[in-house]
Amino acid sequence: MSMQILNILVLLIAIAIIIRTGLAFYSMRKCLGELDSRQALVGAVKNLRLNKMLDHLNMPLERYVDTVPANEIMSHILNCRKCKNINTCDKYLRRGATNTEVSFCPNFKSLSNNRKYLSRG
């Protein structure tokens, strides 16, 4: 009987080790997945006027991606991609204007709301 108890204890310990190792592996994969998705967001933003708008607002891209929720960033990316005000945006960013409201930009209000958390300095 004591041998059966010992075998059961060994089996339970082995199961606990397997579960713990699996959870650690899952956590590591999840962190790497989040890192990959954050890097993908950085790459997507860099290729858009959104990146220039962030710079114009004195918002570092890395801090933006690390602070703003991914779904909000995706919304900004989609808004920028489908924006019909490309010429106006280019002129605005070229001028370096500092208007407090930029009605042509579908992301400006949201970016401005995040600005206090993201600004350099």
* Domain residue spans of the chain: 2-118
Per-residue pLDDT tens digits for 30-51: 544 555 688 888 999 999 999 9
Mean pLDDT of 100-112: 84
Mean pLDDT of 68-90: 92
Q: What was the pLDDT predicted at 32?
A: 45
Per-residue pLDDT tens digits for 47-73: 999 999 998 888 899 999 988 988 899
Rounded CA separation 52/102 (Å) = 14
Q: Which token pair is 11?
A: 């089996």
Q: What was the pLDDT predicted at 58?
A: 86
pTM metric for this prediction? 0.66
Rounded CA separation 110/121 (Å) = 20
Given a cut of 90, whether residue 79 has pLDDT beyond it is yes
Supply the mean pLDDT for the chain.
Answer: 80
